[in-house]
Each structure stands twice: as structure tokens, then as C-alpha cells.
Amino acid sequence: MVELVDTPDLGSGAARLGGSSPFTRTFKGSAYFFTYKIGFVNISQETLSTNHSKVIIELSKEDYLPQVNKSLKEYAKKVSIKGFRKGKVPANLVKNMYGSELMGEEISKVLMDALYKYLEDEKLDTLGSPLPIMDNRPEIDIKEPTDYTFAYEVGLKPDFELPLVKDEGVVFTKYLIKVEDETIDEEVERLRKRLGKSEEVEDAIVDGDIFRFKLTEKRAEDADGEAYSIENVLPFDLLTDAGKEKVSGKKVGDIVDFEPFKDVNKPEAEINKMLLMRTDDAEEIGHEFTLDITKVNRVAAAELNQEFFDKLFGKDEVDSEAAMRDKIKEEIAKSNDYYSNQVLHNEYVKQLMEKAEIDVPDAFLRKLFDANTKEPLTDEQHAEQFPKFIEGTKWNLLRSAVAEEKDLNVEQEEIHDFAHKDVEQQLRQYAPHMMGNHEQVHEIAHKMMGDQQYVEQAYMKLLDGKIFAALDETFILEEKEVSVDEFNEIVKQG
């Protein structure tokens, strides 16, 4: 099989066009100092460094007190306090108990409205969200309403040129991965087993079997506590070569020494979760176990008949073994093309990142990164992850610039079609018996469209497809036919 290729983080972003060259555009950011006024609110902007500003907002009492008083009256009507009927709580009591909190909420609303109106009116393209400056942050006290000053740090999108001019010295390679007959044979057998009938056998374990077992931790005689023990199931195919050697030929009742973290071909975290049903560190329960085989199941491969074809591709979509093989070859070719495109598109990203001079405000982005990091990071983790965040930010700017330069967008109907195809693909892989049930596919897709996160991810995938298709037409390409093994070697070499 073709190996998966990592792709850059393709987040969202927007940039404004400027310049006049048909091949190169300049994208504008802003950095200067001036004063702006909305009502009684004074707003000033001060440059801290390139594309990094401080926005200072000065509020007078008139900006927030009327709304605070209104909120206090509304809250007094619905608050419940022991000893008073609902709606009859004295105004002063409500003010003393909840006034500062309500005033803080109203001030926050005024601040946000003023800040984002200012950014919009001045057409300032920001990186991420403004960050409040907490130094000397004023205390909010309903008993002493006064004028307040708040400040925010803002990262601004930088000026940069989009390097989309064809460079005759740069040629990108599009790999055409051959689909061998042997690969089709292997896929047919895999599908026959996946859709075959499973039955319990007394025979020795062979390749393709699934076995149930009891796994018991080895413990020293003087060790405290009981040995960890669990029953679970495992496909023979998931074992490493060492694991297969231990289990192959064994029958129900046989017991072998077993080391899950060496004998199962999965990362330790997945072994803990999948095999041991734990999420904590493996060191706490040791690495050596005994494995007692309690049941063996074997899958009888499905016959190559119309029922099998219908389960795979939908009713009457395929009517012969030859047509089935053609269909499988077509799907393998699509999969290979997907991986080939990942390699090609990674090269596009490298080229654009190298040639575009994008001066992002590192100091601001470091604070933004820290503010959005959910769990505390060690110094080593921070040193590893922050540079990736910077690179992701630069790529977001570039991809948005390409989308605007090429006038690319995604319509709602395209997302709807994407969801339906996504459902069909998942059913083909995990529930082929449901293939052909168009009503159910529509129902599942409709539910997925109700998930805002899914819709956003679908939008970005579709937009990415259009962006890279546009780059395919922009850059110089050459095609080269390779085998799967040759392609995997190319990926490993980077």
C-alpha cells in the first residue's frame, strides 16, 4: 500500500489584494498611530513592532452606565433571593450583590463592540484574535464607577508578494503510481475476507484468524497487589513478526509468553487503549504477560457472486468479476493519486514558503500560541510546536492569498455533495451492507451538515482542492510513472 504523507496545517485566513501585476500582487497590512472616536469612546493605536500594535480604548462612564442600570433593573425582576418575592428584591440589594459583575459584563460588551468596529472601519486585517493586556488592568467596582482604560495587543497581516510567476528553472514532478495485478489480487482477497462469514474453529491459529485471549501480567512473588488481567480479542494480522511467531500454530488452551508493546504492531498509546483498555502509562503495569488463548475465529472468504458485488458497490452497479476488478483498480488508482498529490502539493508549499517573504510578528504570535494552548507545555514541547505554529500561520496567509488571487470559493451545494460522497465512502469501508440505501445516505449526510465543525472542515478541504488545482495550472509539471515501492522510497527520502 502507499504510505501516508504528512501535509501542512491548512487553516483559514484572509488577506487583502493590492498591486497591479497580473502575476504578482502585494497584500497590505497596517502599522501606525492615530486616535479614533466612537461616541464617548476614544481609541488609539500604537505600533509596538512590525505588524504588531497596541490598541488602547478609553471608556467614559457615559459609555456603559446607562446599559448597566438597565441590566440591573432587568436582573432585579428575575433574581430569586431568600426573604423576598421574585421581582420585589430591593434595587440597592441587587446592586450591592451583583452590580460589579453586571457592570463588568456590560463594559466587556462595549469594549468588544468598539474594538471590532474600529478594526472593521480601519480595515485592519488581524492575525488571530486581539489579546488583552493584563498589566494594570483596572478593577471594576459598581460603587465607584469611573472612566477606564483598557489595552489590547493586535497582530496585523504583513505585506508580501505572492510568487506565482512561472520559473523555468523549477519543475515539479507528478508521480503516476502503477496499479499492479498483484495489488488488485490482494485487495480482492482482503474484501472477500472482510465480507466473509466468521465461525469458531478448533484448528491452530493461522494468518487472518481472530482470537480471544486472557492476558495476565507477570508479577514477582513478593510484588504488592494483584496481577493485572484482562480478556480481549485480537486479529492475527495486527501482530508483529515476533508476535506472529509466538501465536502461529497455537490452539485454544495454549499459553504463551507475550509482550504487548513488542508483539503488537501498534504504538504504545494505542495498545494501552485498544488491547489493555487503559489510558495511563504502560510502565505502571509492566511489559511482560502470559497470553491464554480461549477462542479462535476464522473468516471464510465470501464467494465472488452478485451478492458480493452488491455489498461492495451497491445494487447492480457491478455484474461480473472483470467489472469488479476494473472498479477496484479505479479506486486504487484514485487512492494512489491522492497520495501522489500530497507529495506534489507539499512541494508547492515548500516553494511558496521559500520564495514569499512573510514578516509575521513573532512576539505577538508567541503570546497568541500560549493563550490558545490548552495544556501546559514543557520547554521542549514549546520549542518543537511553536515553529510549526509560525509555519502554519504563514501558509494560511499564502493559501488565502492564492484563493483570492484566483477568485476561488466554495458553494453550499458543493459542501452538500461532499457530505454525501463522504458518507458513501465510509459505508463502503465500514458498512457495505448499507450501500445503495440512498435514503439512509441522505439522512446521515443531513445530520453531518448540522455539525458546524464538519461543515468548516469540508469547506477547507474543498477549497484546498481548488487551490492546488489552480497551482497545478500555474506551475510547470512533469509526469513520472513509478511503482508503489519506488513511490514509498521517494516519500521516505523526503
Angle, vertex CA 153, rays to CA 151 and CA 157, nearest 5: 145
Which residues are registered as beta bridge partners of 292? 214, 255
Q: What is the torsion angle, in degrees rounded to the nearest 10, for the CA atoms of residue 446, residue 447, residue 450 and residue 456?
A: -80
Whether the Cβ atoms of residue 389 and residue 11 lie closer than 8 Å to each other? no
> Cell triple for residue 339?
497520495
- Residue 430: per-residue pLDDT: 64
- Residue 19: per-residue pLDDT: 26
- Residue 184: per-residue pLDDT: 95
pTM of the model: 0.66
Residue in 380, 492, 426 with CA at minimum distance from that of residue 6: 492
Calpha distance 458→467 (Å, rounded): 14
Calpha distance 364→53 (Å, rounded): 9
- Residue 334: per-residue pLDDT: 92
Whether the Cβ atoms of residue 125 and residue 157 lie closer than 8 Å to each other? yes
Which residues are registered as beta bridge partners of 152? 55, 132
> Cell triple for residue 114?
468598539
Terminal-to-terminal C-alpha distance of the chain? 18
Calpha distance 471→406 (Å, rounded): 10
> Cell triple for residue 52?
504588531
Whether the Cβ atoms of residue 123 and residue 157 lie closer than 8 Å to each other? no
The beta-strand segments (E) located in 301-360 are none
The DSSP-derived string for 158-222 is PPEE---S--TT--EEEEEE---HHHHHHHHHHHHHHTSEEEEE-SPP-TT-EEEEEEEE---TT
Residue with cell 497487589: 225
Calpha distance 382→363 (Å, rounded): 14
Calpha distance 152→56 (Å, rounded): 7
Q: Would you tell me which CATH number, out of the four given (1.10.3120, 1.10.287, 1.10.3470, 1.20.120), belongs to the domain 172-180+318-493?
A: 1.10.3120
Whether the Cβ atoms of residue 432 and residue 312 lie closer than 8 Å to each other? yes
- Residue 29: per-residue pLDDT: 34
- Residue 137: per-residue pLDDT: 82
Helix (H) / strand (E) element for 152: namely strand 148-155
Q: Would you tell me which CATH number, out of the four given (3.40.50.1970, 3.10.50.30, 3.40.50.2300, 3.90.180.10), belongs to the domain 197-300?
A: 3.10.50.30
CATH architecture, domain defined by 30-156: 2-Layer Sandwich (3.30)
Every domain of the chain and the residues it spans: 30-156, 172-180+318-493, 197-300
pLDDT one digit per residue (tens) for the chain, 494 residues: 333 333 333 333 322 222 222 222 233 333 333 444 455 579 999 999 999 999 999 999 888 999 999 999 888 888 888 888 787 888 888 888 989 999 999 999 999 999 999 999 999 999 989 999 988 788 899 988 999 999 999 999 999 988 887 766 789 999 999 999 999 999 999 889 888 888 999 999 998 899 999 999 887 666 676 788 889 888 898 999 999 999 999 999 999 999 998 999 888 777 877 676 665 554 566 778 999 999 999 988 899 999 999 888 888 889 999 999 999 999 999 999 999 999 999 999 999 999 999 999 999 999 999 998 888 889 999 999 999 999 999 999 999 999 999 999 999 999 999 998 888 877 766 666 566 667 878 888 888 888 899 999 999 999 999 999 999 999 999 999 999 999 999 998 87
